[in-house]
Amino acid sequence: MKFKTLISTLLGLLITFSLCSCDKSAETSSKGSDESINSSTSTQEDATINLADQNFSEPENCISFIDTDAINTDWKVLLNFPCDISNFVFYSINTDLLPSSNDVAVSNKIVEKKLYSCDNINSETIIVISTYINDTVANRGVSYIDSNGKTRYFYIDCDTTGAVQELKLVEFYIQ
């Protein structure tokens, strides 16, 4: 009888702990989606960006294109999104108009030329861009409309401080 009581108590505690844990993660997710556009903190809407290694082969679920305006197209930039997005645009940047920090609004003339666009991209699709990302000043960017209907703008920054080049998306907003 004691054994059944002990098992019931442990099971009850486990269920309570699980419910509390789910409740806290839901709070974190909803806080992330309410953050302002100029926040450098990641939200559930943020894209991920990576640089493919030499052994990369394109998966079936990808959209692939070549940046014909690039100095060379040796870099394979991989983008994917945690949710479905719309109005994706990959563009060249007017480097003279780059913001000094991501909380500064910039002119819409920062988008020098649209190089590729796609109406809808689902969360399972990987975008593969053959391009060149300048490692001294950002020369390419992306924008898209997230699941909340907000247009988000990013420039692609190349961090060369470590042993390996890393790409990151830096969000900015347009006046």
Q: Give the model confidence (pLDDT) of 17-65 as tens digits.
A: 333 333 333 332 333 333 222 223 334 568 899 989 888 888 889 999 9
Co-location of 6 and 85 in the same domain = no
| Helix runs in the chain, H state only | 2-33
Co-location of 58 and 129 in the same domain = yes
Cα–Cα distance between 148 and 45 in angstroms, integer? 9
Co-location of 64 and 29 in the same domain = no
Co-location of 8 and 79 in the same domain = no
Q: How many domains, the chain? A: 2
State the pTM of this model.
0.69
**Residue 98 half-sphere exposure toward CB, CA atoms < 13 A:** 16
Co-location of 110 and 71 in the same domain = yes
Co-location of 84 and 142 in the same domain = yes
Co-location of 58 and 118 in the same domain = yes
- Domain with 23 in it: 1-34
Distances (CA, A) of 160 to 40, 127, 139, 157, 163: 19, 23, 15, 10, 7
**Over the chain, what is the mean pLDDT?**
74
